[in-house]
Amino acid sequence: MQIIAVIEDEKAISDIIKYNLEKEGYKVYTAYDGEEGLQVINEKSPDLIMLDIMMPKLDGFEVCKRVRQTKNTPIIMLTARAEEIDKVLGLELGADDYITKPFGMRELIARVKANLRRVGSAAAVAAGDANLLVEDHLSMDLSKYEVSKGGVPLELTLREFELLKFLWLEKGKVFSREHLLEKVWGYEYYGDVRTVDVTVRRLREKIEDDASKAGYVLTKRGIGYYFRG
């Protein structure tokens, strides 16, 4: 049974999320502030984290930042604030996804399943035969789910890894942001293509020698992104 941590300070919302996720067969642990949330994450090792932004003691941004220091667990940010800066900051800190309140349970469950599918795909790859991609001093070991530059392992989030893998395996082909949302995120993202731009920027900061001069993941102006052919 897959475990989900729901860290949300509004108990009514938390209870509704927990009820609906448990109906889908997940084991759900809840917390109502950032400090308690970190304790739940460390003790229960969830497969996915749902994380509210505005919380007492530690806000969601700080919790996300601390989790990303040691874990690549998928994180879905929950926010009642629709400002673009909130969404972008969450992604910059390593969140995989976000959903703005009010939201429907069907949408939320679809997001949960899509993110957990990515984890399952990663485990399946890790259990298979070795598959190594190499381009100059950048390498990607699909069997170990690792990316290295000059022999030094890089800390990529699940979403960054999946995006790089998809583009690398289709090297030379240009994909629109909408296509990448469908193929890498696994569902329609309601036209919010800024998510792809932020993830590409974070990825470039890790794999490029100079993030301002793309060498591996390139931009086709007005169209989208591709891995150099």
Per mean pLDDT, which range of 22-31, 46-55, 92-101 is the poorest?
92-101
- Identical fold for domains 3-121 and 130-227, yes or no, is no
Long-range contacts of 161-166 (CB under 8 A, 24+ apart): 161/122, 162/118, 162/121, 162/122, 163/196, 163/199, 163/200, 163/203, 164/140, 164/203, 164/207, 164/217, 164/227, 165/140
pLDDT at 131 over 80: no
The whole-model pTM stands at: 0.67
Grade residue 109 by pLDDT with cuts at 50, 70 and 90: very high
Residue with tokens 């296509």: 179
Q: In the chain, what are the domain boundaries?
A: 3-121, 130-227
CATH 2.40.100.20: does it fit domain 130-227?
A: no
The per-residue pLDDT for range 180-225, each reduced to its tens digit, is: 988 888 765 555 778 899 999 999 999 998 767 778 999 999 899 9
* Residue 41 phi, psi (nearest 5): -60, -45
Grade residue 36 by pLDDT with cuts at 50, 70 and 90: very high
CATH H-level superfamily of 3-121: Response regulator (3.40.50.2300)
